[in-house]
Structure 1
Amino acid sequence: MAALERTAYPRFPEVLAPRELQACYTPLPDELEWARRSTRGERPRLGLMVLLKVFQQLHYFPPIDSIPPAVVDHVRAAADIGDTVRFGYDAATSPTLFRHYAAVRGLGRMSART
C-alpha cells in the first residue's frame, strides 16, 4: 500500500526526518526573494513561506493548526527569521491568510507557465 503522504489526499507524515525537511521544505533563494517582495514584516513572511512550502508538498492548504511545528521551525531557520516571530493568522479580523492563499496559487501558475 502507498504511504499516506503519497496518496491522492496526502498528509504530513507522523515523523519528519531532517533529510525530508531539508529536501522538501527548504525555501529556494528566488522563493525567499518573492516572499520579501510580497510581504511587510517577518511574521507575514514566515506565514507566506510556510504556506508556499506546504502547498508545494501537499497540493492543498491544510488547516493552519495541523502544520507540524518542525516544518514551521525549519522554514523559519532557512528564511533567517527570528525565533520570537510566531506563526499564525487571525482569519477572523485580517484578510492576510486569504491574500497569501491567492499569492501562493498565483506563484504556482506563474512557475507552471515557465
Structure 2
Amino acid sequence: MNVLIVESSKPLAQLWQRHLQRSGANVWTAYTQDAAFELLETRSFQVIILDVVVENDSALAISDIAQFRQPEARIIFVTNTSFFSDGSIFNLCANACAYLPSSTPPDDLTNMVHHYARAP
C-alpha cells in the first residue's frame, strides 16, 4: 500500500510516516504543493493524508490534481482548524473519505489508512 502525506509540519508528517511504515505501508511525504504535484505525477497512491491548510499552498488544488491523476486514491483530510467543520469538504472533493483533527492519535490514523486502502 502506497500512502502520500501532504503536511507542512515536518515533525507531524514524520510521526505519521513512522507509524504507517511500522504497519507495512510505503510512505512518501510532501511538505509543499509542488512536491505533492510531482509525487502525484510519478507514483500511485491508495491513500493520501492531506492537511487542509498546507502552508502557503492550496490543499484543494492538491486534491483536484489527485482526483484527476489518481481517481481511485482516497483522501483523508486532517486539520488543526475549524475550516470545513460543516462537512462541506465532502462536496468539494469526490475522493474525500474522512476529515480528522491533526491531533488524532497516530495509531488511529494508521488504522483508518488501512481501512480506506482496502475499501472499494
Larger Rg: 1
TM-score for the superposition, normalised by structure 2: 0.30
Q: Comparing both structures, which one devotes a greater share of its residues to helix?
A: 1
Q: Comparing both structures, which one devotes a greater share of its residues to strand?
A: 2
